[in-house]
């Protein structure tokens, strides 16, 4: 790969234009640790990233300068001035200025020099603020004793800067002077509390004032065993005075209107128990109790450096029916994670019950069978008095499309309920669309399914009594998530969660945090540790993640070695889970063991750990040989019992001896096409790797047929049966067993939509989209496809459409990145590519004969795209 690029680089010499060259523009998209202007950064050397802007094509960064200052205008780099640094690096540049202090705001700007050595203007200022960097910065004490807590305090002068640092377990709602602080819900993220507790930082300056103030907190159970609060507000006032408001035994507590709350079962809220004014100064709390000082969880306090869970959308019901008298069913048309907001007016003490489900019975009533033990029921008891009452549960969420309302005083209307969509607020980064409608419908289900399951950890489902970070599910949809959402901060946190549960013996667990399943994890579940670490490197070029988790990933692999015998790993609990045809667990486990060893060797290569790289490469070789000796029939190329998954796994990782590859692949094709009438029989693992394997083998046509069919088993079958997210099973089941209708693990195919149909691929040789391989599959009856993705370096996009006798392709490459276009179909057609630089579209305009940008290597249909900005289009005739 590198050698070929070196060769292409030689022939890609930009032609000089006569016009004055356009100047570089100020960098945009400034981020710190993947976040925009974050509060609460607690890594000592945060990494800074920016997006290059340049109006000319073929541009890149040759040097940068960063200024960091306490002054918002950043007129000088008084905290850090890098000076002119000759480097093309524009992402994840480590801060190595003066040591950062706790609780300080740092402002920064950056400029860069382009290929001709011309400096850009400085970017607009961005900021990051440190959290509490030392354990001794925490002066507050953990308190508890009830679910509603308050404290009044007086500020002698006007606040000029105030920050609240809060950790409230399981969940908290922070209020100051009558206002809720922050737009999050269900905070903080669920972690292994004995190891780590996350705290959030809020700017509360505008909520405080000179004179009396009050702070109030409600606590929910969440995933914690006890309710506990640690809060510290630091206030700087005019005249240089400061004040600290800390949780301690001077706080007052009571059991408020929340009678009970549970993630699975719902909230019960008695509005008659409300204490109006409790979160404002002047409230009489004489009958409240003093707070109890408690030990609090043992874990270290870490800043929550990822997007919190928020309400991101509000849905209106599409239908409202009454299948029985007094039983009202609202259909929101979409399976979501969240709660409903109720509007109601009625007599004091009226008990309104809201139940949630994914399914209805044929008679239109609610089917909650597949929720198993989760009650998913919220109850609101009216305070009465003639006013309209608005209720929104605080410390629960449900996975649902349908809502049953009972006990409602009178007849509800469409406006009675609104569904509030909740999930970790990772931003969408682009999209995929294609001319085949079913693909858009599947993409819709994938995006909703993933979004619904990003609830501070990547969950398996959103509705029943699980919602766990099952690790196989997590790695199977990680790439699809990374292609649709801004995920690096979220997965950085999840990898740390994995590290937190790792045992001294290297074991990781089936679920993270560990509540369900086993320690050690099934090898296919534990694979999440090496694999998500690796994806972070591929998609974001995150080398620090490799450094941080290398030891852990290696320890997990070493643990597997202790469980292996002669290169075979036999233990397995789930294997290729929920398949149509079952594959031996030992085959699946040994494949995962091989991959883990292979990934350790790759990581070691990157981290220049040469001895380890050799050791683990040899280990991988040994496992591969043992795998083939044990499972491969050398006469037929068939592995084990010849299921599709048994063939897919070794083919996907090139484990098959070269001489047997075509038979092994042939056996897979035969199984799909002839034995199963062009259908897959794979479980969650085989399904993910089948699609890239078929594409790599030149059978995108077959992959496309599987992806677009609507007969069982397929994604289209789910869509045809009314799915709005993806199911857990290929089968359409609705009974009391394991059959969630919102399980994102089969959304692995979404990565193939981007990689193959839209053709967008990160090049692992130059990760983080520093180099991009555009390889769109112009397949069967697909007329066009398009994908776009906001990467850490800027926008990457690819779209294509068939034209009369040819193909029109548009790609977008961030400034500073390189790309390569591969369309093997063109090599097969008699249509040769046009000579270099001809037929270029830019900004929607056809520009004939613009020289020097594209160099076509006409044989095999390979084009190279120069480094550049903007959108390029090529047409073949
Ligand atoms: C979960 C899965 C998980 C599995 C383990 C199920 O109950 O919902 O998605 O991976 O257990 O086999």
Q: Residue 263 Cα, ligand 1 centroid: separation in angstroms?
A: 18
Ligand 1 atom index nearest CA of 577: 12
The reported pLDDT for the residue numbered 814 is 87
The reported pLDDT for the residue numbered 850 is 37
Q: What is the CA radius of gyration of the chain?
A: 29
The yes-or-no verdict on residue 17 having pLDDT over 80 is: no
| Lowest-confidence segment of 375-379, 562-566, 747-751, 794-798 by average pLDDT | 794-798
Q: Residue 468 Cα, ligand 1 centroid: separation in angstroms?
A: 9
403's CB contacts (< 8 A; 6+ apart) are 317, 329, 330, 332, 340, 354, 355, 356, 357, 417, 419
The reported pLDDT for the residue numbered 874 is 55
Q: What pLDDT digit, counting tens, does each position of 355-374 carry?
A: 999 999 999 999 999 999 99
Pocket of ligand 1 contains residue 577 by CB under 6 Å: yes
Q: What pLDDT digit, counting tens, does each position of 273-294 carry?
A: 999 999 999 999 999 999 999 9
Report the C-alpha gap between 486 and 480 in whole angstroms: 11
**Taken in order 4, 6, 8, 10, is the CA torsion positive or negative?**
negative
Average pLDDT over residues 837-849: 39
- Atom 12 in ligand 1: residue holding the nearest Cα: 574
For ligand 1, pick from 469, 473, 517 the residue to mutate: most ligand atoms within 8 Å of CB.
473
Model confidence band, residue 865 (pLDDT cutoffs 50, 70, 90): low
Q: Residue 439 Cα, ligand 1 centroid: separation in angstroms?
A: 26
Name the nearest CA neighbour of 456 among 170, 241, 58, 720. Answer: 170
The yes-or-no verdict on residue 350 having pLDDT over 90 is: yes
Pocket of ligand 1 contains residue 470 by CB under 6 Å: yes
Ligand 1 atom index nearest CA of 472: 10
The yes-or-no verdict on residue 211 having pLDDT over 70 is: yes
Hey, how many other C-beta atoms are within 10 angstroms of the C-beta on 330? 27
The reported pLDDT for the residue numbered 843 is 40
Average pLDDT over residues 779-798: 92
Pocket of ligand 1 contains residue 574 by CB under 6 Å: yes
Contact 469, 223 (CB under 8 A): no
Ligand 1 atom index nearest CA of 471: 10
The yes-or-no verdict on residue 92 having pLDDT over 90 is: yes
| Lowest-confidence segment of 235-244, 679-688, 792-801 by average pLDDT | 792-801
The reported pLDDT for the residue numbered 10 is 27
Model confidence band, residue 845 (pLDDT cutoffs 50, 70, 90): very low
Q: Residue 574 Cα, ligand 1 centroid: separation in angstroms?
A: 8
Ligand 1 atom index nearest CA of 517: 5
Q: Residue 500 Cα, ligand 1 centroid: separation in angstroms?
A: 21
Pocket of ligand 1 contains residue 521 by CB under 6 Å: no
Name the nearest CA neighbour of 866 among 51, 49, 15, 62. Answer: 15
Instruction: Supply 502's token pair.
Output: 């790792």
Q: Residue 615 Cα, ligand 1 centroid: separation in angstroms?
A: 34
Q: What pLDDT digit, counting tens, does each position of 392-401 carry?
A: 999 999 999 9
The reported pLDDT for the residue numbered 799 is 85
- Atom 5 in ligand 1: residue holding the nearest Cα: 574
Pocket of ligand 1 contains residue 460 by CB under 6 Å: yes
Name the nearest CA neighbour of 131 among 243, 208, 234, 227. Answer: 234
Contact 519, 509 (CB under 8 A): yes
Q: Residue 510 Cα, ligand 1 centroid: separation in angstroms?
A: 9
The yes-or-no verdict on residue 299 having pLDDT over 50 is: yes
Pocket of ligand 1 contains residue 486 by CB under 6 Å: no
- Segment holding 330, helix H or strand E: strand 327-344
Name the nearest CA neighbour of 40 among 164, 177, 189. Answer: 164
- Atom 11 in ligand 1: residue holding the nearest Cα: 470
The reported pLDDT for the residue numbered 210 is 98
Q: Residue 473 Cα, ligand 1 centroid: separation in angstroms?
A: 8
Model confidence band, residue 19 (pLDDT cutoffs 50, 70, 90): low
Ligand 1 atom index nearest CA of 574: 12
Q: Residue 813 Cα, ligand 1 centroid: separation in angstroms?
A: 39
Q: Residue 448 Cα, ligand 1 centroid: separation in angstroms?
A: 19
Pocket of ligand 1 contains residue 477 by CB under 6 Å: no
Q: Determine the straight-line distance between the first and last CA of the chain, rounded to whole angstroms.
A: 29
Q: Residue 588 Cα, ligand 1 centroid: separation in angstroms?
A: 16
Model confidence band, residue 6 (pLDDT cutoffs 50, 70, 90): very low
Pocket of ligand 1 contains residue 473 by CB under 6 Å: yes
- Chain CA centroid to CA 87, Å: 30
| Lowest-confidence segment of 293-302, 770-779, 824-833 by average pLDDT | 824-833
The reported pLDDT for the residue numbered 872 is 56
The yes-or-no verdict on residue 868 having pLDDT over 60 is: no
The reported pLDDT for the residue numbered 430 is 85
For ligand 1, pick from 461, 470, 516, 576 the residue to mutate: most ligand atoms within 8 Å of CB.
470
Model confidence band, residue 22 (pLDDT cutoffs 50, 70, 90): confident
The reported pLDDT for the residue numbered 399 is 98
* More confident: 862 or 141: 141
Beta bridge partners of 266: 262
The yes-or-no verdict on residue 165 having pLDDT over 60 is: yes
Average pLDDT over residues 148-164: 98
* Cα distances (angstroms) measured from residue 224 to each of 197, 491, 785, 842: 11, 22, 46, 55
Q: Residue 460 Cα, ligand 1 centroid: separation in angstroms?
A: 7
Name the nearest CA neighbour of 229 among 280, 293, 276. Answer: 293
Average pLDDT over residues 781-805: 87
The reported pLDDT for the residue numbered 59 is 85
Pocket of ligand 1 contains residue 461 by CB under 6 Å: yes
- Atom 9 in ligand 1: residue holding the nearest Cα: 460
Report the C-alpha gap between 26 and 40 in whole angstroms: 27
- Atom 8 in ligand 1: residue holding the nearest Cα: 460
Beta bridge partners of 856: 863
Q: DSSP assignment of 835-863, as one string?
A: PTT-SEEETTEEETT--SSEEEETGGGEE
Q: Residue 466 Cα, ligand 1 centroid: separation in angstroms?
A: 9
Pocket of ligand 1 contains residue 472 by CB under 6 Å: yes
The yes-or-no verdict on residue 553 having pLDDT over 80 is: yes
The reported pLDDT for the residue numbered 848 is 42
- Chain CA centroid to CA 235, Å: 35
Hey, how many other C-beta atoms are within 10 angstroms of the C-beta on 226? 15
The yes-or-no verdict on residue 62 having pLDDT over 90 is: yes
- Atom 1 in ligand 1: residue holding the nearest Cα: 460
Q: Residue 38 Cα, ligand 1 centroid: separation in angstroms?
A: 35
Average pLDDT over residues 202-218: 98
Q: What pLDDT digit, counting tens, does each position of 624-678 carry?
A: 999 999 999 999 999 999 999 999 999 999 999 999 999 999 999 999 999 999 9
Average pLDDT over residues 214-239: 97
Pocket of ligand 1 contains residue 152 by CB under 6 Å: no
The yes-or-no verdict on residue 836 having pLDDT over 80 is: no
The reported pLDDT for the residue numbered 689 is 98
Task: Please state, rounded to an integer, the average pLDDT across all residues of the chain.
Answer: 92
Ligand 1 atom index nearest CA of 740: 8
Q: Residue 467 Cα, ligand 1 centroid: separation in angstroms?
A: 10
Q: Residue 480 Cα, ligand 1 centroid: separation in angstroms?
A: 19
Average pLDDT over residues 25-42: 97
The reported pLDDT for the residue numbered 853 is 37
The reported pLDDT for the residue numbered 809 is 77
Q: Residue 719 Cα, ligand 1 centroid: separation in angstroms?
A: 22
Name the nearest CA neighbour of 324 among 377, 366, 355, 381. Answer: 366
Average pLDDT over residues 162-166: 98
| Lowest-confidence segment of 42-56, 566-580, 711-725, 854-868 by average pLDDT | 854-868
Quote the pTM value: 0.94
Report the C-alpha gap between 258 and 253 in whole angstroms: 13
Give, in degrees to the nearest 5, the angle at Cα 185 between 459 and 525.
15
* Cα distances (angstroms) measured from residue 513 to each of 300, 546, 795, 812: 15, 21, 34, 39
- Atom 4 in ligand 1: residue holding the nearest Cα: 470
Pocket of ligand 1 contains residue 155 by CB under 6 Å: no
Model confidence band, residue 774 (pLDDT cutoffs 50, 70, 90): confident
Q: Residue 470 Cα, ligand 1 centroid: separation in angstroms?
A: 6
Pocket of ligand 1 contains residue 867 by CB under 6 Å: no
Name the nearest CA neighbour of 397 among 449, 448, 331, 452. Answer: 452
Ligand 1 atom index nearest CA of 573: 12
Pocket of ligand 1 contains residue 34 by CB under 6 Å: no
Average pLDDT over residues 570-580: 98
Q: Residue 569 Cα, ligand 1 centroid: separation in angstroms?
A: 21
Pocket of ligand 1 contains residue 471 by CB under 6 Å: no
């Amino acid at each position: 790969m590198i050698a070929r690029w070196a060769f292409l680089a030689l022939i890609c010499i930009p032609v000089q234009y006569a016009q004055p060259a356009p100047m570089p523009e100020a960098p945009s998209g400034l981020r710190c640790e993947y976040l925009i202007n974050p509060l609460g950064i607690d890594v000592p050397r945060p990494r800074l990233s920016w997006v290059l802007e340049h109006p000319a094509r073929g541009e890149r960064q040759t040097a940068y300068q960063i200024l960091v200052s306490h002054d918002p205008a950043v007129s000088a780099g008084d905290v850090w001035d890098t000076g002119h640094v000759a480097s093309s690096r524009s992402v994840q540049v480590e801060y190595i200025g003066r040591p950062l202090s706790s609780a300080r705001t740092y402002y920064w700007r950056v400029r860069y020099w382009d290929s001709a050595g011309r400096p850009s203007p400085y970017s607009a200022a961005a900021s990051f603020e440190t959290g509490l960097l030392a354990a001794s910065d925490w002066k507050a004490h953990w308190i508890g004793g009830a679910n509603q807590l308050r404290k009044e305090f007086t500020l002698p002068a006007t606040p000029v800067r105030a920050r609240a640092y809060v950790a409230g377990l399981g969940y908290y709602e922070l209020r100051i002077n009558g206002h809720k602080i922050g737009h999050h819900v269900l905070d903080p993220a669920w972690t292994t509390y004995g190891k780590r507790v996350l705290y959030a930082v809020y700017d509360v300056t505008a909520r405080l004032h000179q004179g009396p103030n009050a702070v109030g907190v409600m606590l929910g159970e969440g995933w914690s065993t006890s309710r506990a609060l640690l809060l510290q507000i630091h206030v700087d006032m005019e005249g240089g005075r400061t004040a600290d408001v800390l949780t301690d035994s001077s706080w007052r507590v009571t059991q408020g209107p929340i009678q009970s709350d549970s993630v699975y079962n719902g909230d019960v809220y008695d509005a008659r128990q409300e204490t109006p004014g409790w979160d404002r100064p002047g409230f009489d709390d004489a009958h409240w109790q003093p707070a109890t000082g408690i030990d609090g969880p043992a874990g270290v306090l870490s800043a929550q450096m990822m997007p919190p869970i928020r309400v991101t959308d509000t849905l209106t019901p599409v239908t409202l029916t009454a299948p029985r008298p007094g039983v009202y069913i609202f259909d929101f048309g979409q399976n979501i994670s969240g709660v409903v907001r109720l509007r109601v007016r009625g007599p004091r003490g009226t008990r309104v019950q809201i139940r949630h489900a994914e399914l209805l019975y044929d008679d239109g009533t609610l089917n909650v069978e597949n929720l198993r033990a989760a009650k998913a029921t919220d109850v609101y008891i009216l305070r009465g008095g003639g006013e309209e009452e608005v209720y929104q549960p605080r410390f629960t969420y449900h996975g649902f499309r349908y809502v049953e309302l009972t006990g409602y005083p009178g007849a509800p209307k469409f406006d009675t309920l609104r569904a509030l969509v909740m999930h970790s607020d990772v931003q969408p980064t682009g999209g995929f669309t294609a001319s085949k409608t079913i693909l858009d419908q599947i993409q819709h289900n994938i995006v909703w399914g993933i979004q619904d399951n990003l609830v501070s950890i990547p969950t398996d489902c959103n509705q029943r009594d699980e919602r766990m970070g099952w690790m196989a599910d997590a790695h199977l949809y990680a790439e699809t998530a990374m292609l649709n959402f801004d995920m690096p901060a979220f997965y950085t946190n999840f990898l740390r969660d994995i590290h937190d549960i790792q045992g001294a013996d290297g074991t990781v667990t089936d679920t993270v945090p560990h509540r369900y399943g086993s320690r050690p994890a099934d090898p296919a579940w534990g694979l999440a540790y090496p694999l998500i670490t690796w994806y972070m490197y591929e998609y974001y070029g995150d080398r620090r993640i490799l450094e941080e988790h290398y030891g852990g990933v290696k320890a997990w692999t070493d643990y597997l070695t202790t469980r292996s015998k002669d290169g075979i790993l036999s233990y397995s609990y789930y294997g290729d889970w929920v398949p149509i045809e079952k594959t031996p667990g030992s085959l699946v486990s040994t494949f995962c063991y091989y991959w883990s060893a292979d990934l350790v060797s790759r990581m070691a290569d990157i981290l220049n750990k040469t001895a380890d790289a050799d050791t683990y490469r040899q280990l991988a070789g040994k496992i591969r040989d043992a795998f083939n000796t044990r499972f491969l029939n050398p006469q037929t190329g068939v592995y084990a019992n010849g299921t599709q998954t048994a063939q897919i796994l070794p083919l996907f990782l090139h484990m098959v001896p070269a001489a047997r590859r075509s038979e092994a692949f042939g056996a897979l094709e035969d199984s799909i096409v002839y034995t199963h009438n062009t259908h897959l029989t794979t479980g969650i693992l085989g399904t993910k790797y089948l699609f890239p394997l078929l594409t790599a083998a030149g059978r995108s046509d077959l992959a496309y047929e599987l992806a677009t069919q609507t007969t069982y088993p397929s994604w289209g079958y789910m869509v045809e049966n009314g799915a709005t997210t993806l199911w857990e099973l290929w089968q359409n089941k609705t009974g009391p067993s394991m059959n969630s209708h919102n399980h994102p693990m089969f959304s692995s195919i979404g990565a193939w939509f981007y990689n193959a149909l839209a053709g967008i691929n990160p090049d692992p040789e130059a990760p983080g989209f520093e180099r991009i391989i555009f390889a769109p599959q112009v397949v069967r009856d697909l007329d066009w496809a398009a994908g776009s993705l906001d990467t850490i370096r800027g926008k990457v996009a690819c779209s294509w459409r068939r034209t009369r006798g040819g193909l029109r392709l548009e790609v977008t490459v961030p400034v500073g990145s390189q790309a390569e276009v591969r369309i093997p179909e063109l090599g097969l057609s008699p249509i040769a590519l046009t000579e270099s630089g001809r037929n270029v579209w830019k900004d929607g305009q056809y520009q004939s004969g613009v020289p020097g940008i594209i160099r076509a290597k006409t044989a095999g249909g390979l084009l190279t795209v120069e480094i550049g900005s903007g959108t390029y289009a090529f047409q073949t005739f």
